[in-house]
Amino acid sequence: MALSFKIQPFTIATFIFFSLLLSLPHFTASGSPNDLSCLKVSPINFTNSAKEVITNLQKVISILSRFADPFGQSRLLNAVSDCLDLLDMSADQLDWIISATRNPTGKDKSTGNLSSDLRTWLSAVLVNTDTCIEGLQGTIVMGLVYADLDRVMSSVKNLLDEVIPIYDQLPTATSSDQFPSWMKDSDMKLLQANETTADAVVAADGSGNYSNVTDAVFAAPEFNMKRYVIFVKKGVYVENVEIKKKKWNIMIIGEGMDVTVISANRSYVGGSTPFHSATFAVNGRGFIAQDISFRNTAGPEMHQAVALRSDSDLSVFHRCGIFGYQDSLYPHSMRQFYRECTIAGTVDFIFGDGTAVFQNCQILARQGLPEQKNTVAAQGRIDPNQPTGFSFQFCSISAENDTVATYLGRPWKNFSRTVFMQSHMSNAIRPEGWLEMNGSFALDTLYYGEYNNSGPGSVVANRVKWSGYHVLNDSLDANKYTVAQFIEGDLWLPSIGVNYTTGL
């Protein structure tokens, strides 16, 4: 049973804005980045190296499969299951890399910027492997696979170093009645429509096609190149939902973040790994969520408990609520965009190694355990060649009540990168701003920046004195993390007509 529902013109524009985020043709002074000029080595050598990584991954998968138990409840079995999923995704990402290198102009597996794609996907393989190693740390299984996983890490870092970052020159914006040549006719029609039709309807009261979100996602087509819309009626859906890697281009629309809620309570104390604990997890490419909330209700005493995890490349979350305590939001890998979302938590409540932009979001620190120190961001960049990082622009950084204090972030990994720009910071932000993770670890290699923020918590006079911390006074430095340069929105947003801020 399909449901037609009205979407206001701004929402339709935003829908396409989200659908195609980062999927843009690019232009450079040295030619188009969708050729092989971004490689330091020959394409044959590059793809052969990628194939060797796949061989090592398959060896580890074969070993771990002996320990797999689909009904296992222990943290070890969950860690093994995580690894199998992560390494399977990595093999796919390496296949995309090989395919894109062989056919740089292919539409199905390229955003139009080969350099950006290769660096993003290699970064995902790197963080997938690192997450697998972390999950197995201290177990009897680690000794069996560590050498091969370490070899994968080293090889992927070498491949990352072989890809030259390509910086684009922005073309003149097109008028509102023009569309990029790479857009499909169906996307252009959707852009111009005043209403759309849901492919599936989820309703707890039985008035839809499905009574839970999991069944609706399971029924969606695999490797779908068209947008597949699942409309979730208001209600609280108590379930753990996972959108598998083969489920591409799914969009989930609720009736508002306050009334459409997906809720569960997996946690580290309850036996889950952080990766496995997510109430809602998405791996399939091109995912969009709008007007819905994801909650993990485990509570602060249960430690790591993820509400939302995304490994979806080009995924977008618009007017979504992400509510938890420790580790609420996990942008684990890939390119992600969050706009007008409310994100609440305690310790490291936005963490991961994705390339994520947060614009016009409300960031709320919650009351944690007495001995805990709240931190907003724990970005996990592993290698300096990764394009990953968190950028917060025009956000509100505050707390649920006046007794809660928080830091802006701390370095989870060596090259952690986080920037806050033009955001309002309440007096909940500690004067020093940032917190050490473990003594002097990563304080020289991280990159933390603040630019032109406002509010009582934005005063930088008493901020940390680390060499990796920067007060950005030059707009050229800050511009690197804006919509125009970080996600290149000026290439196509003017043709849509949606309100947005291009730079500073």
Active-site positions? 348
Contact between 131 and 90 (Cβ < 8 Å): no
Token duo for residue 2: 């399909």
Cα 353 to Cα 417: distance, rounded to the nearest angstrom: 9
Contact between 376 and 349 (Cβ < 8 Å): yes
Nearest to 117 by CA among 129, 106, 130: 106
Contact between 382 and 413 (Cβ < 8 Å): yes
Going from the C-alpha of 4 to that of each of 7, 44, 198, 217, 385, the distances in angstroms are 10, 49, 6, 19, 46
Contact between 100 and 118 (Cβ < 8 Å): yes
Q: How far apart are the first and last CA of the chain?
A: 46
Edge-first strand listing for the sheet containing 315-318: 200-202, 228-232, 250-253, 288-290, 315-318, 335-339, 355-359, 389-393, 417-421, 447-451, 469-471
Q: Phi/psi zone of residue 42: left (φ > 0), alpha (ψ -120 to 50 degrees), beta?
A: beta
Q: What is the amino acid identity at position 21?
A: L
* Helical H segments across 20-113, by residue range: 43-65, 75-102
Contact between 424 and 392 (Cβ < 8 Å): no
**In terms of C-beta distances under 8 Å and separation of at least 24 residues, what long-range contacts does 188-193 make, across chains too?**
190/12, 190/15, 190/16, 190/227, 191/12, 191/13, 191/16, 191/496, 193/12
Report the 3 state secondary structure along 111-152: CCCHHHHHHHHHHHHHHHHHHHHHHHCCCCCHHHHHHHHHHH
Cα 369 to Cα 415: distance, rounded to the nearest angstrom: 28
Edge-first strand listing for the sheet containing 260-264: 235-238, 260-264, 293-296, 321-323, 342-345, 362-365, 396-399, 424-425
Token duo for residue 234: 């208001």
Cα 202 to Cα 500: distance, rounded to the nearest angstrom: 31
Nearest to 321 by CA among 263, 377, 374, 376: 263
Token duo for residue 121: 């996907």
Nearest to 319 by CA among 289, 344, 295: 289
